[in-house]
Amino acid sequence: MQSRESCALADQQDPLAGFRQQFAIPEGVIYLDGNSLGVLPKTALARSQQVIAEEWGNGLIRSWNSADWFALPTRLGDKLASLLGAAAGEVVVTDTTSLNLFKALAAAVRIQQQAYPTRRVIVSERDNFPTDLYMVQGLIEFLQQGYELRLIDENLSLEQALDEDVAVLLLSHVNYRTAYLYDMAAVTDLAHRYGALTIWDLAHSAGALPVELNAAQADFAVGCTYKYLNGGPGAPAFIWVAARHQDRFWQPLSGWWGHQQPFAMSSDYQPAAGIRRFLCGTQPIVSMALVECGLEIALQADQALLRQKSLALTDLFIELVEQRCGAHPLSLITPREHARRGSHISFRHPQAYAITQALIAAEVIGDYREPEVLRFGVTPLYLSYSDIWEAVERLRQILDSGSWDKPEFHRRSAVT
């Protein structure tokens, strides 16, 4: 039976407890939305001043060389690689997740046109994060080559969806709503047995749990630095391409930063060797430089310990909700099985929207997701066992008192 005291004790024994002090988290706030926007590393403000006042203000154009802005996408990519079970030279930090997905899709589709010229199916799942599906739809609609998007859902399993027509399998490693975690190695192996290439969206796994892209023999991956990697709002995303695929096709977003010699100013595109060909245009340097602050912290943490703590915290969350909020119609939609669970916890409740708003007013910041889902990001790097206790306690108070049922908590915002 968990108690406030048992949580405090767990905090005393937590080998990762020290990481919290590397972040500036507002006093009193219990932040359970690090899977949507990570918190502020304390080093970020000074770093931004350096980039803005010194590198931009004083260095001006010279900083492309002197501050090595030119190498930022690959330098950050190399650092990030070690969190993804990838090697240096396989990752660049650049653009947005959606755009990187388009590059991966386009490359995968074209590689497959050589291997299996008639395959025209891209498999994903109906419950995938919508932008992933939208990018596939955009590509299909534009290509007009008879491609179709086949969606896994309650009527079609992954095994049923895979056949000899499938060119590409695109999945989120961890589902943004339920936190369902795929077995990347097993699914990749299954896809390969059908001759399909895999693209993994790591938005909800990179930085949250160990990812092993090369061990899983995955083909492509994309993801986000502004969630568990604490890179800052809308910070540039990343793309990983298995070394064996990098030089097989030049992706169509072929801007000058992906050119072999960007400053030769040739009128013909010649893709750079390796991962640089997945770059396109000039990157937002201030936002990108801040990615390094969050990365530096993530790189200090033992990934196995992080995973262990994440599971302990989400176990605790489930246990406390069941112990203390059992009278309310909350139903867990996150897998109980550790091997299938990411690092957030979601419950359905008919009044999930208003409850989320009431929780935010009580400084427990989670978020709402359609339909009727209360979602709580559980970030082991800066959350404590006591935070989880306190969050569930405030949830219990809101539910028991019915204080969520006020007009202001039902009003919808632009971004929900």
Give catalytic residues, as residue numbers. Answer: 129, 201, 226-227, 375
Q: In whole angstroms, how close is the CB of 144 to a second copy at the nearest point?
A: 8
Q: Which residues contact 13 (CB under 8 A, 6 or more apart)?
A: none
Q: What is the DSSP letter of 28?
A: T
Helix, coil or strand: residue 365:
strand
Q: Which of residues 156-185 bind a second copy (CB under 8 A)?
A: 177
CB of 188 or CB of 246, closer to a second copy: 246
Give the containing element (helix H, strand E) for 390. Answer: helix 385-401
CB of 10 or CB of 174, closer to a second copy: 174
* Tokens of residue 32, six digits: 């359970």
Q: Which of residues 93-112 bind a second copy (CB under 8 A)?
A: 95-99, 102, 106, 110
Select from 78-86, 160-168, 189-197, 260-268 the region that touches a second copy (CB under 8 A): 260-268
Is residue 92 close enough to count as binding a second copy by CB under 8 A? no
Q: What is the DSSP letter of 272?
A: P
Q: In whole angstroms, how close is the CB of 93 to a second copy at the nearest point?
A: 11
How far is Cα 57 from Cα 181, in angstroms, rounded to an integer? 45
CB of 106 or CB of 166, closer to a second copy: 106
When binding is defined by CB under 8 A, the residue of 251, 303, 310, 314 that contacts a second copy is: 251
* Tokens of residue 292, six digits: 């390094």
When binding is defined by CB under 8 A, the residue of 5, 115, 284, 329 that contacts a second copy is: 284
Is residue 281 close enough to count as binding a second copy by CB under 8 A? yes
When binding is defined by CB under 8 A, the residue of 173, 204, 259, 309 that contacts a second copy is: 259
Is residue 266 close enough to count as binding a second copy by CB under 8 A? yes
Is residue 260 close enough to count as binding a second copy by CB under 8 A? no
Is residue 237 close enough to count as binding a second copy by CB under 8 A? yes
How far is Cα 398 from Cα 170, in angstroms, rounded to an integer? 39
Is residue 22 close enough to count as binding a second copy by CB under 8 A? no
Is residue 269 close enough to count as binding a second copy by CB under 8 A? yes
Are the beta carbons of 31 and 20 closer than 8 angstroms?
Answer: no
Q: Which of residues 203-232 bind a second copy (CB under 8 A)?
A: 226, 232
Query: H helices of 226-325, where?
Result: 243-246, 285-300, 303-324
Q: Which of residues 55-84 bind a second copy (CB under 8 A)?
A: 55-58, 60-65, 68-71
Is residue 26 close enough to count as binding a second copy by CB under 8 A? yes
Q: Which of residues 303-362 bind a second copy (CB under 8 A)?
A: 360
Is residue 144 close enough to count as binding a second copy by CB under 8 A? yes
* Tokens of residue 150, six digits: 């086949």
How many residues bind a second copy, per CB under 8 A? 99
How far is Cα 343 from Cα 174, in angstroms, rounded to an integer? 8
Tell me phi and psi for residue 259, to 5 degrees: -80, 150
Is residue 410 close enough to count as binding a second copy by CB under 8 A? no
When binding is defined by CB under 8 A, the residue of 7, 170, 288, 297 that contacts a second copy is: 288
Q: Which of residues 357-396 bind a second copy (CB under 8 A)?
A: 360, 365, 367, 369-370
Is residue 89 close enough to count as binding a second copy by CB under 8 A? no
Are the beta carbons of 17 and 381 closer than 8 angstroms?
Answer: no
Taking 3-state DSSP, the helix, strand and coil percentages for the chain, each rounded to the nearest 5, stand at: 45, 15, 40
Q: Count CB atoms within 10 A of the CB of residue 268.
A: 5
Q: In whole angstroms, how close is the CB of 96 to a second copy at the nearest point?
A: 3
Tell me phi and psi for residue 124, to 5 degrees: -145, -160
Are the beta carbons of 223 and 216 closer than 8 angstroms?
Answer: no
Q: In whole angstroms, how close is the CB of 287 to a second copy at the nearest point?
A: 3
CB of 50 or CB of 401, closer to a second copy: 50
Measure the CA angle with vertex 140, ends 135 and 142; round to 5°: 95
Is residue 21 close enough to count as binding a second copy by CB under 8 A? no
Are the beta carbons of 385 and 11 closer than 8 angstroms?
Answer: yes
Rounded to an integer, what is the distance from CA 185 to the centroid of its chain? 18
